[in-house]
A and B are shown apart, each in its own frame.
Chain A
Amino acid sequence: MILPYLAVIVLVLATVYAALVVFRQKTEGEAYAWLFPDGTRRSGRTLAGIATLIFVIGCVVWIHMSVGDTARRSLKFLIPEGYSGWVRVEFEVSGEPVLPVVGGQFVIKIPATGSLKTSSPEQFGWARDTYAFYTSGGLQAIPDSGTRRLIWGKLNGEQSDSSGKRQYEEFFVGTGEQYRDQMKTREPRESGKDDRKIKIP
């Protein structure tokens, strides 16, 4: 909260100082040499170099820590083969099973209904989620980008109703044509009943 005020104060100071230096009349042996120096001594330049080095190192450490904070465990969605339509996962639903972790990924096995509830919390941050159709013979990867893409309209949200707040994730499985067709005909889900909010990742 203090940052905006600090920014304005230092900006005013810098503007006034720069204007004074540009527009002032130079006089010989002036009394304010410390305020308007003609140059910086070698020791001053060394100090500036050290300050810069410390600043750069600080930035690198901060960025490194920020990236660590925003990373999350990725999700692996397993979808029934041939399924087409909306998939919805609701998080933090009490009494439901937690999501298993396999190979460092949360595995979300979607049933034939396309809807799954779990007691695990939703995670936010940067990660690459993967999708696959599951069959009796194994898994078949689903492309989520490119011309053969089958994953559309992914979103995170929060829904409030009489039973409380629920966090959910939704996306559509199908071709681009199917996605556009169903979006034309689809009614807004439960609109008017719920207070829906999109969570900032």
Chain B
Amino acid sequence: MLPFVLYFVTGLVTGYHVYTLMFAAYGAPTSPLELMSLLGSFCLVIAAYLSLFKPYAASRVALLAALAIWCFYGPAIAGRVRTRRDKPVALLHRTVPLEVGRSNSLWLPSRDVV
């Protein structure tokens, strides 16, 4: 049961987190790393069920899935560390190109992921 619980919880938590981040900034394009991480989370949930029957095969799938998730979390953590070390940015100013010739702006918190 241990591998099932571990893979299942990890898949759900990381998947939900990345999913919410994808819609955190209005109008921001989706990063391919986010999609890869989501795919990894999905594979991790599959690995959880596979671990009930074939633990060794499941662990290989889980390892690949975890590496896919790290493709997003790795750069995100590195960026976060770099931001903290340098100058923290409280707000990020985004211009929303809704209308030509209009000055619409959207203020959002900086898109910190961790």
Contacts and interface: CB of A to CB of B under 8 A. Distances in A.
B1 A40 contact: yes
Contact of A18 (B49, B62, B99, B101): B62
Interface residues of B, number: 50
B96 interface: yes
A102 interface: no
A121 to B, nearest CB: 21
Nearest to B25: A200
A50 B35 CA distance: 29
B14 A37 contact: no
A7 interface: yes
Interface string A1-29: 00111111011011101110110000000
Contacts of A7: 13-14, 17, 73, 114
A45 to B, nearest CB: 5
Contact of A4 (B1, B101, B113): B113
B51 A40 contact: yes
Contacts of A157: 104
Interface string B10-31: 1011101100100000100000
Contact of A155 (B13, B63, B98, B114): B98
Contacts of B78: none
A11 B70 contact: yes
Given A3-B17, A5-B114, A13-B10, A48 B1 contact: yes
Interface of A: 3-8, 10-11, 13-15, 17-19, 21-22, 34-40, 44-45, 47-48, 51, 55, 153, 155, 157, 183-184, 186-189, 191-192, 196-198, 200
